[in-house]
Copies of this chain bind each other. A is one copy, B any other.
């Protein structure tokens, strides 16, 4: 019988982040994480599929949120407006915990396997957003262009928000990146 484990998910996540930083990602096992959190491996697997999932859990919810935001934009709005709405919708869930996100980013930067996973996550988001645009009747190559370049803008904003000393809310950093992107393209 499973005991009730208060905030097991959060404890596992914090234990994993500590161990990844101390020992490196490759050298940390699920058993190590569970032990550090004072929980069992079985409890770990109720919350995460594997040790990578600790860092990438929530990808599917993020995708659904972005697609829903793009779909909520009036049908006659230009495609890039739907993409920008999708980017802005990420600010609320992703902008909550800057210290955790910075630790996560440092780990990804230091670990090629995690960099690959992050790039695949972003490519998956772009594909989902492109599909959402095609469902809105946007033709190709416009749907892919809007989705790919939108995710590129998101990536720059996200990394900028994680820079040391950046104190603005994520929503502001995203809005700034979108604005500067539009100015850059207009100037060309």
B-contacting residues of A (Cβ < 8 Å)?
78-81, 84, 115-116, 119-120, 123, 140-142, 144-146, 148-149, 151-153, 155-157, 159-160, 176-177, 180-182, 184-188
Among A115, A144, A188, chain B packs the most CB atoms within 10 A around the CB of A188
Residues of B within 8 A of A119 (CB): 116, 119-120, 123
CB pair B80 A177 closer than 8 Å: no
Residues of B within 8 A of A140 (CB): 160
**A interface majority secondary structure:** helix
Residues of B within 8 A of A160 (CB): 140-141, 144
Closest to A79 in B: B184
CB pair B148 A188 closer than 8 Å: no
Closest to A181 in B: B145
Residues of B within 8 A of A144 (CB): 156, 159-160
Cα-based distance from A156 to B54 in the complex (angstroms): 31
Closest to A155 in B: B148
- Minimum CB–CB distance for A151 against chain B, Å: 7
Partner among B84, B123, B152, B187 whose Cβ is within 8 Å of the Cβ of A149: B152
Closest to A178 in B: B188
A149 with B181, Cβ < 8 A, contacts A78-B188, A141-B156, A144-B156 known: yes
CB pair A187 B78 closer than 8 Å: yes
- Minimum CB–CB distance for A186 against chain B, Å: 7
Among A79, A84, A156, A160, chain B packs the most CB atoms within 10 A around the CB of A156
CB pair B142 A185 closer than 8 Å: no
Partner among B78, B146, B188 whose Cβ is within 8 Å of the Cβ of A84: B188
Closest to A187 in B: B78
Residues of B within 8 A of A184 (CB): 78-80, 142, 145-146
